[in-house]
Structure 1
Amino acid sequence: MSSWFHRVKKYVWDEEKTPFHLLPVEMHKKQAHNELFIYAAIEGILTAILIFGILAQIFMGGKIAYVPLLLYSLMLMGALYVLVNRKPIWAALVSSSPPLVMFGLLFWFGFHPNNTSFDKLILGGFLVFWVIYSVRIFDICRNYPEMAETVNS
C-alpha cells in the first residue's frame, strides 16, 4: 500500500507547519511564525518577479515611469522582511496592500481588452481571496504578543 496520504498529511495539513485551519487567537508563536513565513515567501517571490520585470523595463526600455512602482515593490519587500522577523502591525498593513493596489489599478486603467469575462472573474476572485486572507495576517500580527510560546497540552 502506498504511503502518499501520510506524506500529504505531513506536508500539507500539519498543525505545526501549516496551521491555516486555526483561528489566530488559538495559535502559538511558532505556528504564527510559520504562517507568516509562508505568506511572506509567496508574496516575496511574486514581488521579486515584478521587481526584475520593472528593472528590465527601466534599464533596457528606458521607461522611467515605472520608478514609483519599483519603489513601492522595494518597500513591500522590506515590509515582508520585517513582518517575518518582528511581526509589527504596520508591516502587516503594508504587506496587505498589494491586492488593494491591484484593485485600484484595475479600477483606474481597467482590464486588458483581450480578457474574457472568465478571466476577469478569476482575477477578481483571486484578489478578493487575497484581501480576505490579508485580514488574517493582520489578526495574527495583532495577537502575536499575547500568543503562548508553545502548545498548552
Structure 2
Amino acid sequence: MLDWEGLFRRYVWNDEKTPFFTAVPDLTRRQADYEIHLYCVFLGLLFSVITVIFAIGIDPESSLRGRSLGSAFYGFSVVCAAILLAFFKPPSIALYCTFAPVIVFAWVFFKGLGPNLARIDHIVIFSILSLLLLHSFRVVAIVRRYPQMPEPPPQKR
C-alpha cells in the first residue's frame, strides 16, 4: 500500500524545504535559504519573461505595442537583484525586489492589460501579484533576521 501522506510530505510539502507557514523567528538558516532561493527563482523567471517581452516587442494587436527598452532594463535589473539576493542576502536588495510587484501594479494601472483579456485573467494576474507582494514582505523579514538565525542540526541520511 502506498503511503500517500509520506509521499506528499517528501515531495510536495516538507517542513524543511517549504517552510512557508513557519514563523520567521522560528526558521533555521537552511529553511531560510530554501525559501529565499525559491522566491528568487520565481521572481527571476517572471521578470526574465517580462524583460524578453519588452526587449523584442510582441503582437501589435495587444496593449504592449513595440519595444520598451526602459521596461526591459528594469526587468533585467530585477533579475540581477534576484540573483544577488539568492547569493548574498543583503536587506537593501530584498527591499528592491519588494518594489517589483508594486511597479507592475502601477504599470498595469496606467497602461492596462489589454482589451483581449477576460475578467478572470485580470483576477488571476492581480492575485499572483498580490501574493508575490505579500511574500516579498516576508522575504525582507527573513533577510533582516538571517544573521541571527540558528544553524540547523545536521541532516539525517
TM-score (norm 2): 0.83
1:79 matched to which residue of 2? Answer: 81
1:99 to 2:101 alignment: yes
Q: Which runs of no fewer than 5 residues in structure 2 stay unpaired?
A: 59-64
CA distance in 1, matches of 2:88, 2:125: 31
**Which structure has more helix as a fraction of its residues?**
1
Q: Which AA in structure 2 matches 1:67?
A: L
1:35 to 2:14 alignment: no
Which whole-Å deviations, capped at 9, do the CAs of 1:73-114 have from their partners, x for residues lacking one? 221122111111111111111212221111101111123223
TM-score (norm 1): 0.84
Alpha carbons of 1:135 and 1:71: their partners in 2 closer, same or farther (altered >3 Å)? same
What is the root-mean-square deviation of aligned Cα atoms in Å?
A: 2.1
2:56 matched to which residue of 1? Answer: 56
> Which stretch shows the higher mean deviation, 97-106 or 122-131?
122-131
Which whole-Å deviations, capped at 9, do the CAs of 1:31-75 have from their partners, x for residues lacking one? 1011000111111112222233333339xxxx8852111211221
CA distance in 1, matches of 2:38, 2:103: 21
Number of corresponding residues: 147
Q: Which runs of no fewer than 5 residues in structure 1 stay unpaired?
A: none
Query: Percentage identity across aligned positions?
Result: 27
1:14 matched to which residue of 2? Answer: 14
2:45 matched to which residue of 1? Answer: 45
Alpha carbons of 1:120 and 1:53: their partners in 2 closer, same or farther (altered >3 Å)? closer
- Structure 1 residue ranges (4+ consecutive) displaced by more than 4 angstroms after TM superposition: none
